[in-house]
Structure 1
Amino acid sequence: MEIFNNHKKLYLVASALFIVLTLFVAILPALDNQAKIQPLPDAIPLSEAAVRGKQVFIANGCVACHSQQVRNVEMDRKWGERPSMAADYATNKRMDVWINTATLMGTERTGPDLTDIGTRQPSLDWHLVHLFNPRIVVKESIMPAYPFLFDYKQNPTDTDVVVAVPEGVVSSAKGKVVATQEALDLVAYLQELKQAKLPEATVAPEFLYPLKQEAITGGTEQVDETEADGKNLYANNCAACHQANGEGLAGAFPPLKNSPIVMSENIQLFVDIIMNGYDARGEYGVMPAVGTNLNWTAKEVTAIVNYERNNWGNQAPKVSVEEVQQILNYINEMKAK
């Protein structure tokens, strides 16, 4: 054939074939998906600060260790209330002419998944301490520290955000650790990473391959379900700040060991703090409304209350689900007024 003897025609035909295939295999299907897949009704677009924070996230290569996709397998249940779906990524747009859409779904999970980190860990204080030095809050962490996102000031101004670093971590000669705008933007991005609620008529995909209790306990250990739930709830949602030993971090997060609030006979304040958070007014970092953010039920609150009241040397009478439910009803009534 003449075409094989004429390199101009050969390249022209090959180029035309490539363009046609690209159009039908990549471009048109992508445009069709873009038209069909819309954000969920309750999805909230990123704020300006969070958009800047996303750029900081990209610039520091965070996607290399952190995924943003909850797979539909049971082991991923702790990362979100439901498996991720296409609509979760519909708000991702090209950041500028030179930067692609950047869904940041990731390809491996060296660190925790961040799909719903804004719900699991909304605390500004915790994120800033964690960025400054992850080992402060998670001793086993292999995440690199990002001290270049912070400054040191002897006399911070009222507008400066001082990081609640525990005593002894930074030399007093350096002054207080103050977050830069880049650090605040990055935390704003992390705080806004939340799974949107599905419409009532939409059924979420199921988590597959559920873990059996026998596989967890080896089939020999008898585990009280309430206690096991309390331990897991604490490990997944509280230990990062209050530490696995319940001793907290001096100057950053309060101890639960021997805490008068935890050990009190009247647990109303304790339950209220779990559900609605607490501001220690400078003594410690602000605790977010963990229970409310995670939609904890009376059973879950009871489990974690009993776990904290009977560990690390704490010994206090256990409370019942009915007692906690009465307190939750009262708290909800006060909110409604």
Structure 2
Amino acid sequence: MFNFHKNHKILVNMAIAGFLTLSLLIAVLPASQMQKTAPLPDQMAFTEMEQEGLRLYIAEGCVACHTQQVRSIEMDNVWGDRPSMPSDYYFSKQRLDVWRQSPSLLGSERTGPDLTNIGKRQPVKDWHLMHLYNPRSVVKESIMPSYPWLFEEKATDKVTPEDVVVPVGSPFFNKPNTKIVASTKALQLVAYLQSLKQTEMPGSSPTFIPQNKKEVVTTSATDPNQALLPDGAKLYANVCAACHQANGEGIQGAFPSLVGSPIVTDPSPEMMVKVILMGYDARSEFAQMPPFADQLSNEEIAAIANHERTSWGNNASTLSAEDVKKIRDMVNQQNP
């Protein structure tokens, strides 16, 4: 019927017809029958600034080294409170136009950490700005490239109240009478990163597939205040070390040192626990610390506080989860 050996036109036409048929069966028809994704009830659309930051995130190649997908395996629990689902990408996957789909943000490798929940894990704007200007200024071991073109050097007397000064100090920047000022693009990119927070699902959330063995780490029971508390050192590393550093010395001009700090070593832990619960923004020479009342339990706060009060040469008394509960209740009564 078809003489492919003598009529090449028939061969080409059959190849094209086969390609189109398979495309319809494998791609077009299944896609047209898929249920359309809707945003979660409390999911917020991007602001104009965050939308511009998303475009910069793609343009600067961040997606090459960072993923935005929390897999259902238990080891990914560190990146989010639940596995990712299609609705999480509703606002970032809007079409650019009728012909173009917006770029995928899932990523393919984790040269850097997953950013699905980075706005919750690291809410401090100054930290993100310092990280973009020179990642080693906040994460000593970072291999991430710097983005100095997103910033401007300004003479101190030329800095205006509208300028956002980045608290980068020696050895990363030490020009006298000069400040690093964030550009509009830098602020847009940081706004996008700070917006990356997993939305809570109504009802039950998807769960992680448990590993065969899960190590449960608790502190030594020799101190009654620390018995059955989580591992304070591990919690500090996950929650606090990005700003205050693993050695507790902080970053000069940005994040205060906890070594010998009168707040940390005070015999009464009340002020320290209040700072963790409510955040702190009273000293202009340091960046703002966000509140952790909604993120950390009484047991976790007690474990972190005890680690800080007994590490790096600090030798203050420890506290229990009940001590933290009393201070939390007092704060809630004072700030209903």
* Match 2:268 to one of 263, 266, 269: 266
Rounded Cα–Cα distance in structure 1 between residues aligned with 2:81 and 2:104? 20
- Partners of 2:253 and 2:299 lie apart in 1 by 32
1-structure distance, mates of 2:99, 2:136:
35
Alignment-derived partner of residue 19 in structure 2:
18
Matches within 5 A, 1:1-337: 1-2=1-2, 4=4, 5-33=6-34, 35-91=35-91, 92-96=93-97, 100-154=101-155, 155-173=158-176, 175-200=178-203, 202-209=204-211, 211-213=213-215, 229-292=231-294, 295-336=295-336
Contact 1:66 1:113 in 2 (8 A): yes
Per mean C-alpha deviation after superposition, the further-off stretch among 11-20 and 230-239 is 11-20
Structure 1 138/319 Cα, relative in aligned 2: closer, same or farther at 3 Å? same
Distance 1:6 1:144, change over 3 A: same
* Residues 38-47 or 253-262, more deviating: 38-47
Quick check: 169-178 or 205-214, which moved more? Answer: 205-214
Given that residues 94 and 102 in structure 1 are in contact (C-alpha distance below 8 angstroms), is that contact kept between their aligned partners in structure 2? no
Asked if structure 2 preserves the Cα contact closer than 8 Å seen for 1:66 and 1:109, the reply is yes
Hey, what's the Cα distance between the residues in 1 that align with 2:233 and 2:287?
23
Shift of 1:7: 3.2
Q: Which runs of 5+ in 2 are unaligned?
A: none
Q: 1:29 to 1:233 in 2, by over 3 A?
A: same
> Following the alignment from structure 1 to structure 2, what is the Cα–Cα distance between the partners of residues 6 and 63?
48
CA distance in 2: counterparts of 1:38 and 1:250, whole angstroms: 45
Show CA shifts across 1:288-323 (max 9, x none). Answer: 12343xx21111111111111110111111111111
TM value normalised by structure 1: 0.90
SS of the residue corresponding to residue 2 of structure 1 reads: coil
Distance 1:26 1:182, change over 3 A: same
The answer (yes or no) to whether the contact 2:134–2:146 under 8 Å persists in 1 is yes
Whole-Å Cα distance in 2 between the matches of residues 289 and 211 of structure 1? 33
Q: What is the DSSP-based 3-state SS (H/G/I as helix, E as strand, rest coil) of the residue aligned with 1:322? A: helix
Structure 1 residue ranges without an equivalent (≥5) = none
224-233 vs 146-155, greater mean Cα deviation:
224-233
CA contact (8 A) 2:309 2:318 kept: yes
CA RMSD of aligned residues (A): 2.3
Q: What is the TM-score of this pair, normalised by structure 2? A: 0.90
Identity of aligned residues (%): 49
Amino acid at match of 2:278: N
Of 245-254 and 322-331, the range deviating more from structure 2: 322-331
The alignment partner of 1:152 has SS state of strand
Q: Is the 8 A contact 1:114 1:193 kept in 2?
A: yes
Return the alpha-carbon distance in structure 1 between the equivalents of residues 142 and 227 of structure 2: 29
Residue 143 of structure 1, CA deviation = 0.6
Question: What is the alpha-carbon distance in structure 1 between the residues aligned to residue 98 and residue 275 of structure 2?
Answer: 46
Higher relative contact order (Cα pairs below 8 Å, separated by 6+ residues): 1
Higher alpha-carbon deviation: 116-125 or 256-265? 256-265
- Inter-partner Cα distance in structure 2 for 1:42 and 1:73: 25
Is residue 227–residue 307 contact of structure 1 (8 Å, CA) maintained in 2? no
Local SS of the residue matching 1:88: helix
Residues 152 and 210 (structure 1), Cα distance of their counterparts in 2 relative to 1, 3 Å cut: farther
Aligned partner letter, 2:259: K
Q: In 1, are the aligned partners of 2:230 and 2:300 still within 8 Å (CA)?
A: no
Contact kept, 8 Å, 1:77 with 1:207, in 2: the verdict is no
* AA at the equivalent of 1:177: I
Q: Measured at CA, do residues 334 and 132 of structure 1 come closer, stay the same or move farther in structure 2, by a change above 3 Å?
A: same
